[in-house]
Structure 1
Amino acid sequence: MIWLSAIITLLGFLFGIAAIVASSDETILGLGTEAKETLDTLSLFALLPLIPIAFYIYRFYLAAQAKSNALRVGPAQFPELFALYQDIGRRLELKTLPKLYLTNGNGVVNAFALECNRRQRYVVIHAEIAMLMPTAPEIVEFVLAHELAHHKLRHVSLWRLAIGVVPQSLVLPGLATTRAQEYSADRVALAVCPNYADTVRLLAVGPWMQHDVNPQAWLEQCEEENKELFVRISNLLSDHAVMVKRFKALKDIEMHGFERHGSMF
């Protein structure tokens, strides 16, 4: 998906340049007003390189917003969480560890990776996940491993953003790219946290009822529902795989190995 994104974006840029050249001499081409307007519209593709620059600047704002409303985790602030985070970083063989921040999710269960440049990289985790450290540390571990995997795989780097401009604007290719990246991050997380597939129950029912989930019954539900037509359509229109497909993909890896892959449709 990454190389496809790069090719689509490059073709879009070249097509835009060609449109500008073609529209610069309407007389020679003998084009009418309507065709000229079409070429003018297509020439906007030549502006594609400016979009990553705008997003690059915007990322610093997003990082500042996230940091200024969160607590930085370290040896003196949530030391147990920080020790777990460092251990995962070592397992992933990360040369430098992104800074970890803990924030109030106001009931929302989420975590995300963010990068401004190679020196300014972050992971933000909601307190609704970190609160499980005393009772279900494996859930916190898998979530952190998933977010660090995004950094490991360079999913949040600027060049990924640049080559994904056109696919993202076309919606379905953009959603497919993001979905594939989420599957990849899950796979890397599972590689360093074996047998932790059940931890994604957190995303299905939240931290308040995760301890009551029956993983086997859930897997049976996934087997039954994951191929339904409208489940497939829902998955196709999602930037993350729907839970019946995501959990099944992780359990397939646990049971059959990493040659198994998650369903994109």
Structure 2
Amino acid sequence: MTLPVDGYQLKGISARAFEHPADRAATAALASIPGLDAVVRKLIELGYERALRIAYLGSSVRLGPAQLPDTWNLHNQVFRTLDLDDVPELYITQVPVANAQTIGAGRPIVVVNSELVRLLRPEERRAVLAHEAAHVLADHVLYFTALQILLRMGASVRLPILAGLPLMAVRQALLEWSRAAEMSCDRAAALVTRDPEAVCRTLMILAAGAEADSLDLAQFMAQAAEYDAPASGLERLSRMMTDLNVTHPMPVRRAQELMAWVRSGEYDRIVGGEYLRRGEEPDARTEANDAANHYADRFRSAFKEAGDAVGSATDQLADWLKKDR
């Protein structure tokens, strides 16, 4: 299998080049939590990451030239396109849910579920593997591994290293960041494959659990537009509350966000070679200020509109009761 365009490579590209604004804000917000990085690294040092790695090593199949070579070749290609020399080990595990993940802060590994390989054609598998490679480039793996550890531990576990840092608060902060990071990596997948529609088609297949031949991308994108249509304050608040306990944004929202970014012209500019390189990133202080403003505006707006909606509903109910009386 060849690259989408022979020799195509995003030389020296920085993850900031395709970073979604929510990802930038969430990452800066995490970095501002006192002691969080120390806790995350301590969790990993204590061996929880090693336990995850051993679990996959013992119960999965490591891919290579003699094990599903087509998928292994795609995996190598996407890392080469992103100009990354160190290619993580790739595993396939028997799980009947189409999904993939990258774990391991020091030495990442990529794990794909068997159902994903069964459902997806090569161009869609390339999109998934490019998405995972972007997690490595963006250094998402440290926080993502910590989130996996906390999700597996459960809310009832208490460790001395977490003293003074509420476990649930850390978990919610990491979930918020995880959802934002996924949208950045969708952009990277579009850049690597040079096919944004393939990324949207992949999201549709993963949401449906059905093969592409049985589905219609145009209908899915219309559904995405419907989901993203203007809503009342209560509906917006309901969507936000629904999102709070999931690691990934809704697939239709991801597709809508990706295509909005493509239409903005940023996708064409980066594919054309105009993008931020590694070492050119802005300072962290500016991004921390942006993060504070982002989340303040987001929550203030959602709750204000919800309050207005509740007030309106209360007025309507009062009018109805008066008329009924």
Q: Is the 8 A contact 1:235 1:241 kept in 2?
A: yes
Aligned to 1:71: 61
1:250 equivalenced with 2:232 (yes/no) = no
Q: Which 4+ residue blocks in structure 1 deviate beyond 6 angstroms?
A: none
Residue type of the alignment partner of 1:78: L
Aligned to 1:128: 115
Q: TM-score, normalised by structure 2?
A: 0.60
Structure 2 CA distance for partners of 1:231 and 1:141, relative to 1, 3 Å: same
Q: TM-score, normalised by structure 1?
A: 0.72
Q: Is the 8 A contact 2:97 2:116 kept in 1?
A: no
1:179 equivalenced with 2:179 (yes/no) = yes
Identify which range, 248-257 or 57-66, moves more after superposition: 248-257
1:194-219 Cα shifts (integer Å, max 9, x gaps): 2223221122111x343222111111
Residue type of the alignment partner of 2:42: I
Distance 1:190 1:68 in 2: 33
Structure 2 CA distance for partners of 1:159 and 1:145, relative to 1, 3 Å: closer
Distance 1:185 1:256 in 2: 17
Structure 2 CA distance for partners of 1:116 and 1:231, relative to 1, 3 Å: closer
Distance 1:131 1:188 in 2: 23
Residue type of the alignment partner of 1:72: R
RMSD over aligned Cα, in angstroms? 2.9
Residue type of the alignment partner of 2:258: L
Distance 1:129 1:93 in 2: 25
Q: Which runs of 5+ in 1 are unaligned?
A: 13-47
User: Superposition pairs for residues 13-24 of structure 1, below 5 Å?
Assistant: none
Residue type of the alignment partner of 2:98: V
Distance apart, 1:91 and its partner CA: 0.3
Distance 2:222 2:178 in 1: 27
Aligned to 1:80: 70
Distance 1:167 1:178 in 2: 18
Identity of aligned residues (%): 27
1:241 equivalenced with 2:249 (yes/no) = yes
Q: Which runs of 5+ in 2 are unaligned?
A: 1-25, 151-161, 268-297, 303-325
**Greater relative contact order, per chain length (Cα 8 Å cut-off, separation 6+):** 2
Distance 2:61 2:177 in 1: 31
Residue type of the alignment partner of 2:32: I
Aligned to 2:205: 202
Aligned length: 218
